[in-house]
Amino acid sequence: MIKGRLRVPGDKSISHRAVMFGSIAKGTTNIKGFLTGADCISTISIFKKMGIDIELYNTSVKVHGKGLYGLTCPNEILDCGNSGTTTRLVSGILSAQNFTSVLTGDKSIQKRPMNRIITPLSMMGADIESNDGFAPLTITGSKLHGIEYNSPVASAQVKSAILLAGLYASSPTTVTEPAKSRDHTELMLKRFGANLTSTKTSVTINPCSELFANDIDVPSDISSAAFFMAAAILVPGSELILENVGINPTRDGIIKVLKDMGANIEIINQTDSFEPVADIKVAYSKLHATCIGGDIIPTLIDELPLLAALASLAEGTTVIKDALELKVKESNRIRVMCEELSKLGVDVIETEDGMEIKGADNLKGNVTISTHDDHRIAMTFAVLNLISEGEIRLDNKNCVEISYPEFFNDLNKMNL
């Protein structure tokens, strides 16, 4: 049984942004609840290389910002590790600096498409050279002007790169998306003093003379909490309270879909600061199939592999569609989930923009899962291992350190 109370680590998206915005703000930004996963440590490392004094004490961080133009030219290549958020968002900031820098990352980052940010940033006047649309990126700071950009994808990373460049532009910048992506950047930039206005799918940022330091209390990451929601739902007799979880409406699609599937989930003790936060109470549930698609996809894009896994034990056939973004994450998550669920005896079909999963009564186990070094794939199958008929082994457990270094310890602690 999965029993007790758990506070999962801080939100990855918010942790990244708190360091980035604190670095280009005036004054000292204090961050509590910082996620010390490898991705966020990559962000700290990059800004240190550009002259920012950053102190890390467990999950507390002090960022001694130097203002919008306070970064200095790094004397080495800036390594983003496995972090697409770091690579894309920092590109927007670097596009306006008075120096040339090179951004790169691991083999996964060097396969992820960068033209989606290079195109709009170049329209603003940025000077970016790439390896045929992929990292490494050589960015020479330029004078930028505002644009009105209709993004072909609903992507917080694309939107954020443009908005960060827009801080430095000579005129307002507007980004319009086909559906609203997560809005952590907009909420936090306002907190740091930026002038933004938003409609349902558009954001306009005005040129900024300065950002000002702030204190950020990072809520627990709903994407990390989702794995424990799933564990409590799947294991008979379970009841779990997940504490202080961020339930931003642009991120809470996982809760809506799980409720649609019949999950016993209750939101309690909700509070609001600059981000809404609540405790989430979850208990064992019998699930039924659903259809996941449309505008809800950007609000649960990182949780779709987990939802596919849950669908494999739900009554009926679940359809996931409109999820092309899954193909350009840390791995092609559509293909990987189809291949790996099939090893467990699941009837799953890969489609052009998603998958169809026929629910089964049990999972066979006694297999080794190819994680493709993808943290969310590894954690998804670790959860399924709790209820499979035989052991589900992972070819790389260590990749969970990207977002949740204590994942296996917490899973063992909750599994009574």
User: Which residues contribute to the annotated binding site?
Assistant: 12-13, 17, 84, 112, 155, 157, 302, 329, 333, 376
Distance CA 375, CA 380 (A): 9
CA-closest candidate to residue 302, choices 106, 13, 8, 39: 13
Active-site residue, from 79, 183, 221, 302: 302
Helix (H, G, I), strand (E, B) or coil at 255: helix
Beta strands in 201-353 (DSSP E): 202-205, 211-212, 215-217, 239-246, 264-272, 276-283, 291-292, 317-320, 347-351
Q: What is the DSSP string of 26-61?
A: EEEEEEES---SHHHHHHHHHHHHTT-EEEEETTEE
Residue numbers belonging to the annotated binding site for phosphoenolpyruvate: 12, 84, 112, 157, 333, 376
- Comparing C-alpha atoms, which of 196, 172, 189, 166 is closest to residue 21? 189
**Element housing 368 (H / E):** strand 367-369
Q: Which residues pair with 100 in a beta bridge?
A: 140
Helical (H) or strand (E) element with 140: strand 137-140
Q: Return the number of other C-beta atoms located less than 10 Å from residue 76's C-beta.
A: 8
CA 326, 331, 332 angle in degrees (round to 5)?
50
Strands, E assignment, 143-214: 148-150, 173-176, 196-198, 202-205, 211-212
DSSP state of 167: H
Which residues line the annotated binding site for 3-phosphoshikimate? 12-13, 17, 155, 157, 302, 329
Binning the chain into helix, strand and coil, the percentages to the nearest 5 are 35, 25, 40
Q: Quick one: which of 134, 132, 205 has its CA closest to 166?
A: 205
Q: Among 198, 196, 223, 217, which Cα is nearest to 208's?
A: 196
Task: Judge whether 302 counts as a catalytic residue.
Answer: yes
In the chain, the amino acid numbered 89 is: L
Residues with a catalytic annotation lie at 302
